[in-house]
Structure 1
Amino acid sequence: MILKSIFSTATILLFGVISSAQEDKASLIKKVEGFSHPESVVIDELNNYMYVSNMADDAPGDGFISRLAEDGSIETREWITGLKDPKGLLVKGDKLYVTNNTEIIEMDIAKGEISKTIKVESAKSLNDITIDDNGDLYISDSGKSAIYKMDTDSGQVTEWLDSKDLEYVNGLLFGNQKLYASAWGSDNKPGNFLMINPDDKSIHKISSKGIGNLDGVQKIDNETFYISDWGTGKIYRINTDGKKEEIISSDKSSGDILFLEKKNELVLPMNFQNEIWWYKIN
């Protein structure tokens, strides 16, 4: 009994050390309330604002974009309105782009209004947006397991890749002349972190096995990324060799995250909670 008691005590102490180390990887520093099913958050460094896409409810046109001050407080809750399930956001110069169900919406940042609506005829559920070195946009279609490409000079959108191997792709990020993707998964199989070669459109699994319902992806450096698991609220740091480490354990519905490199902070749009959660990476 004495040996068993000593073993149990040691186990508890060891577990406590592991748990403490896990918690020390990041600290929750604030929560900002007042959103309506937020999905994505991006930073506009030129104008010192952040923007949040609010999917809102099921009524047509009830979606909107919020504009936040640099400290994360809501400057204008319904800054641009009349949207339907807005999700992925991208700042490109003086323009803000958002996926809007089966459309790509271009917004004029200075005027705070919609400047162009681009219908994607074959789309099912457009999600995230990223930009390559040439200024062209890549847009994920989570409903179709496809990626579209948009020439921003002509505004022409073409289906770039349609494959079940994309595992119903969600988050996108272009970097190092490669396209990185966090996949939602399908058929009760968890999604992987993927790398797509733009030259031949080959798809490579970075993770050795499925991780979860992956959503956001943010770059730390050329070989390391943050990815979010919407289904569990976990945020992982993952390398291009597939090694991953849990950094944050939030709640279910953490969406298209933002990494603020200068502050070493992660910003999580929490869809179910109608809040934005800020974490300091330790």
Structure 2
Amino acid sequence: MKSTIKLGLIGLSASFLFAQCGPQKTEETEEVAVIEEVKSPTLTKLWETPATLETVESVLYDEATGTIYTSNIIGQDPLGKDGKGSISIIDNEGNIVTQDWVTGLNAPKGMGISNGKLYVTDIDQLVEIDIATAKVSNRWPVQGAQFLNDVATHDGKVYFTDMNTGKVHMYADGKITTISEGHDSINGIAVANDGTIYGLDASGLKKWNADGTAEVVNNAVTGGDGLVILGDGNFVASRWQGEVWFASAEDQSILLDTKAEESNTADIGYNPSEMIVYVPTFFKNKVVAYKLDY
């Protein structure tokens, strides 16, 4: 990020009348540089969960209830159909509320909430979980799917990506359609309040236009995983390798780098009211929460 320097003209004028015969000081005007520092965004660690969320891939914060969900692959294979995957619930202090809230999944990844249902991608199907009962209420197979990944919801619609096929799908009213193709390693997806779709693929941070075409907004944040829309053209994006970025159309900076600790930064979650970023560490088996200051 950049610092901005503004020059202001400050007039210094004073007339002093000393006792009896004090001389009058002439008016002086001088130019002074006033520095206005623009702070770079930062992440400050708040807490971390116990390391029992096995291969935690994604975190979702539910603004309506304050519930925090995690998806856990449980194992080394992100494509393994072994029935070991699960969803857990944690609280906003890093405690694990319910380790096995929903079980029997394979390799669950992205999550989104719509109409009382939690939608989770699970390799080649979209799993629908009834939140009230904590039961799987439906499984929607996706034709030709290979590596379903991130999820975003808006206005009753569920959007999700397939990293291997480069497609973006949409679920609505019991049907799944493909709304966009040709996006190399597409992963993170998010939808703005006005319905504009943003995504992360090998070319960077992308924006979908009303006519269905897509354009690259920022070409530095390539191969991203989780995506958060902050507003005013600002975003937070994670890269699985161990990086969390602040990005806009004009600039970008790395907020967090955990590669040296071999700690991944997978599909991040976000609490907008408290500006907290939740980072799933994948093989480190925990979620770490950070306060965002920008």
Which range, TM-score by smaller chain? Answer: 0.7 to 0.9
Q: What residue ranges of structure 2 are gaps of 5+ in the alignment?
A: 1-38
Q: Aligned runs of 1:1-282 on 2, under 5 Å?
A: 25-32=42-49, 33-57=51-75, 58=80, 60-132=82-154, 134-151=155-172, 154-163=173-182, 166-175=183-192, 176-183=194-201, 185=202, 191-197=203-209, 199-207=210-218, 209-231=219-241, 233-239=242-248, 241-251=249-259, 252-282=263-293
SS at match of 1:214: coil
Maintained 8 Å contact 1:50/1:72: no
SS at match of 1:180: strand
Q: Compute the displacement of 1:59 (Å).
A: 5.9
Partner of 2:30 in structure 1? Answer: none
| Distance of 2:167 and 2:220 partners within structure 1 | 19
Q: Compute the displacement of 1:211 (Å).
A: 3.1
Higher helix share: 1
| Distance of 1:38 and 1:83 partners within structure 2 | 13
Q: Percent identity?
A: 24
SS at match of 1:86: coil
SS at match of 1:71: coil
Query: Given the superposition, is the C-alpha separation of residues 274 and 146 from structure 1 closer, same or farther in structure 2, using an over 3 Å criterion?
Result: same
SS at match of 1:211: coil
Partner of 2:34 in structure 1? Answer: none
- The one-letter amino acid of 1:236's match is W
Partner of 1:188 in structure 2? Answer: none
Q: Compute the displacement of 1:178 (Å).
A: 1.6
| Distance of 2:87 and 2:98 partners within structure 1 | 9
Moved beyond 4 Å, runs of 4+: none
- Spell out, residue by residue over 1:216-249, the C-alpha distance to the aligned partner (whole angstroms, 9 max, x if none): 0001114111001112x2211111x241122222
- Spell out, residue by residue over 1:150-197, the C-alpha distance to the aligned partner (whole angstroms, 9 max, x if none): 11xx2100122121xx221100001133210011x2xxxxx4111111
- The one-letter amino acid of 2:267's match is D
After superposing the two structures, state which structure 1 stretch, 258-267 or 109-118, moved more.
258-267
Q: Compute the displacement of 1:47 (Å).
A: 3.2
TM-score (norm 2): 0.79
- Structural RMSD (CA): 1.8
| Distance of 1:126 and 1:106 partners within structure 2 | 14
Q: Compute the displacement of 1:97 (Å).
A: 0.7
Over alpha carbons, which structure has the higher Rg?
Answer: 2
Maintained 8 Å contact 1:143/1:168: yes
Counting matched residue pairs gives 246
| Distance of 1:267 and 1:39 partners within structure 2 | 11
Q: What residue ranges of structure 1 are gaps of 5+ in the alignment?
A: 1-20, 186-190
| Distance of 1:71 and 1:25 partners within structure 2 | 20
